[in-house]
Amino acid sequence: MQVDKLMTRDVVLCHPDDTLADAARLMWDTDIGAVVVVDADGKLAGILTDRDACMAAYTRGLPLADIRVSSVMAHEVWTCRVTANCGDVEDVMRQHQVRRVPIVDASGRPVGIVALNDLARAARSTPSAAIHQREVETTLAAISMPRHVPRTDEAFRALAIAGLTV
């Protein structure tokens, strides 16, 4: 199955200069866990998850309205094109341990997004088994593998400023 049959076409967007409060409001109002960040030309600039926003506020000890999206968003985003198939999207998710893959056009503008839950729902409801439940299980397991994230001095300083310990 090609991703254009599965992807969510109404991509919720924000901009790097928006605040985390703006992004959180978008996520709350649209019942999603991430927003795609685009630059002034509408090209993909990053992605911001609800977890990113929460952890930024926690580690910085600041309200969401005082933190810019650009300082928190993931700048490195793995994408697929509309011509990709669902297996390609699953491969990206597995390799990079991401739950959402923006779908972009030839100029780098987001035209859709595929989330892990889209794959799971399609596997459950597709009688032709174009998306196999076992493949979705494998993708979820790969995404959920613990990653070692080195803690930097900067991260420890941010926690200390916020009055937190690890």
Residue 73 included in any domain: yes
Domain assignment present for 158: no
pLDDT digits (tens, 9 = 90+) for 114-163: 998 888 887 776 655 556 666 776 766 676 677 665 555 555 555 555 55
**Enclosing domain of residue 137:** 3-145
> Alpha helix (H) ranges present in the chain?
20-30, 50-60, 86-96, 116-125, 133-143, 153-161
Domain annotation covers residue 76 = yes
- Of the candidates 20, 50, 57, which has an alpha carbon nearest to the alpha carbon of residue 164? 57
Rounded Cα–Cα distance for residues 38 and 83 (Å): 21
Output the CA–CA distances (angstroms, integers) from residue 25 to 36, 44, 58, in the order listed.
Answer: 14, 20, 18
Q: For residue 100, is it within any domain?
A: yes
153 located within any domain: no
Q: Is position 120 within any domain?
A: yes
- pLDDT value at residue 118: 85
* Angle in degrees, 0-180, between the axes of helices 116-125 and 133-143, rounded to the nearest 10: 160
- Establish if 166 belongs to a structural domain: no
Residue whose C-alpha is closest to residue 12's, from 143, 119, 123, 100:
100
User: How many domains does the chain contain in total?
Assistant: 1
Residue 33 lies in a domain: yes
For 62-74, write each residue's pLDDT tens digit. 999 999 999 999 9
Please report, for the domain that includes residue 110, its CATH number. Answer: 3.10.580.10
Summarised one tens digit per residue, pLDDT across range 73-120 is 999 999 999 999 988 999 999 899 999 999 999 999 999 999 988 888
